[in-house]
Structure 1
Amino acid sequence: MKRALIVHGGWEGHQPAEVAELLARELREEQFQVHLSDTLDSFRDKEKLADYHLIVPVWTMGKISKEQLVPLLETVESGTGIAGCHGGMGDSFRNETQYQFMVGGQWVAHPGGDGVHYDVVITEPEHPIMQGIDDFHVCSEQYYMHIDPAIRVLATTRFGEVEMPVAWTKTYGAGKVFYCSLGHQADIVAMPPVLRMMRQGMVWAAR
């Protein structure tokens, strides 16, 4: 049985505990053994981290110590997968550029705040993460992000003439990375296309 670690906390506006429970349920249905934690100290022990096939951070903003961050980075680099959504992975630890490099992007702005109506366009429908997901409409925050040109873009949205990635994969050393910018609160994560994308993305990323 594969094992996953979900670490939740940070800014409470993103409902980290509720989102963590949703993602944990999806992983359990995929026969993962899931450990939920509300402390970044869960990243300190590299030997324990190496036992996990997947790490799912749900931690917006906040600060992380080097003693917590370095084992996390090294574990993913060694082959453990990492997957997450919205600010819980794409706006964590704003001072830690190496973390952002691992993720493949970093939140910059959400023009219009919450309640923006926009379309999500699936650009790689044949990818395993996007199986069974069609283009869809969402009313939520629309993330404008700095992005790594090395990412493989799976879905996009538009800001005027700018095409902005919504979901992507990349590698960090031997580890697979999946990120989706949707998921402002638990109700958005629970939308059928978003939840399916997260489920398939987590499974894909797992070692």
Structure 2
Amino acid sequence: MTRNALVVRGGWEGHHPVEATDLFIPFLERSGFRVRVEGSNEVYADPDVMAETHLVLQSVTMSEISREAFQGLRSAVEGGTGLAGWHGGIADSYRNSSDYLQLVGGQFATHPSKHPDQCGGDESDNFLPYTVELTALGREHEITAGLDDFELHTEQYWVLHDDLIDVLATTTHPVQPYHPWHRPITSPAVWTRHWGRGRIFVATPGHSLDVLRDENVSRIIERGILWAAATESE
């Protein structure tokens, strides 16, 4: 049976929502999905579209969501539609909706920068070398099994989260003399979440196309997409 994937993209252009999702649309099609692409999250408010959607792949950084659109998305997920995404396209979406933040389970707070003396005023000020470390669960989970810890040089997301997420990988923000915190802070970097009969997958790496092309990141996202598309049994 052909499954339907709804790709919703837009919001802040700095995360290249069109080009980024275009990287994974061929994978969706090879995996047997019929893909529909929308540039507005108002499609979530269409009950006919959502009833036929098995997976939502979202890349909408910041922006806003109407109550009707959010209710359509949440109802679809509760009914078994998967929700997947990366970086700000899912973890920094719709700051106007606390209900959305609850649905996803983790929210971008910041990405620490280099030493002030090394900052030049562009996005690379926030590019740091860091390690994505698999958790014990992550070493067994189908999304991340067989992978090892790996290094990235990009934005390192500091995420506020709750205990209902299942963390597959983390990243730790070190203590630096030019930052105000006083001990290392560990944030989830890859997580899953069960909501009703639906599954939610989030990966925080993915600021730029080169990061999304990283072998480890792309593999995690592809596996996460397939995992999210599998409906929980009643």
| TM-score under structure 1 length normalisation | 0.96
Counterpart AA for 1:39: S
Q: Contact conserved, 1:110 with 1:142, CA < 8 A, in 2?
A: yes
Aligned to 2:57: 56
| Alignment RMSD (CA, Å) | 1.1
Match of residue 115 from structure 1: 127
What displacement does 1:131 show? 2.8
Q: Give the structure, 1 or 2, with the largest relative contact order (CA under 8 Å, sep 6 or more).
A: 1
- Give the 5 Å matches for 1:62-77: 62-77=63-78
AA paired with 1:58? Answer: S
- The residue type paired with residue 139 of structure 1 is H
1:198 to 221, 227, 231: 221
Distance 1:133 1:19 in 2: 23
2:190 alignment partner, one of 167, 182, 188: 167
Residue 158 of structure 2 aligns to which amino acid in structure 1?
Answer: Y
Residues 1:135 and 2:149 are matched in the alignment: yes
Checking the alignment, whether the CA contact within 8 Å between 2:65 and 2:96 is kept in structure 1 is no
State which drifts further: 137-146 or 16-25. 16-25
Q: Is the 8 A contact 1:46 1:72 kept in 2?
A: no
Q: How do 1:1-207 residues align onto structure 2 when only pairs under 5 Å count?
A: 1-112=2-113, 113-123=125-135, 124-160=138-174, 161-206=184-229, 207=231
More displaced stretch, 49-58 vs 123-132: 123-132
Conservation of the 8 A alpha-carbon contact between 2:8 and 2:38: yes
Q: CA deviation at 1:96?
A: 0.5
**SS of residue matched to 1:130:** coil
Amino acid in the other structure paired with 2:210: D
Following TM superposition, by how much is the alpha carbon of 1:41 offset from its aligned partner in structure 2, in angstroms? 2.1
SS in 1 for 2:140: coil
Deviates more, 1:138-147 or 1:64-73: 64-73
Aligned residues: 207
* Structure 1 range deviating more: 112-121 or 83-92: 112-121
Equivalent pair of 2:42/2:66 in contact (CA under 8 Å) = no
Q: Output the CA distance in 2 between the equivalents of 1:32 and 1:58.
A: 18
Runs of 4+ in 1 over 4 A off after TM superposition: none
Q: Give the TM-score taking structure 2 as reference length.
A: 0.85
Say which SS state the counterpart of residue 206 (structure 2) adopts. coil
**Alignment-mate amino acid for residue 13 of structure 1:** G
Deviation (angstroms), 1:48: 1.4
Q: Secondary structure at the match of 1:128?
A: coil
**Residues of 1 paired with 2:173 and 2:102: CA distance?**
23
Percent of aligned positions that are identical: 39
CA distance in 2, matches of 1:121, 1:63: 32
Determine if contact 2:4/2:34 at 8 Å carries over to the other structure: yes
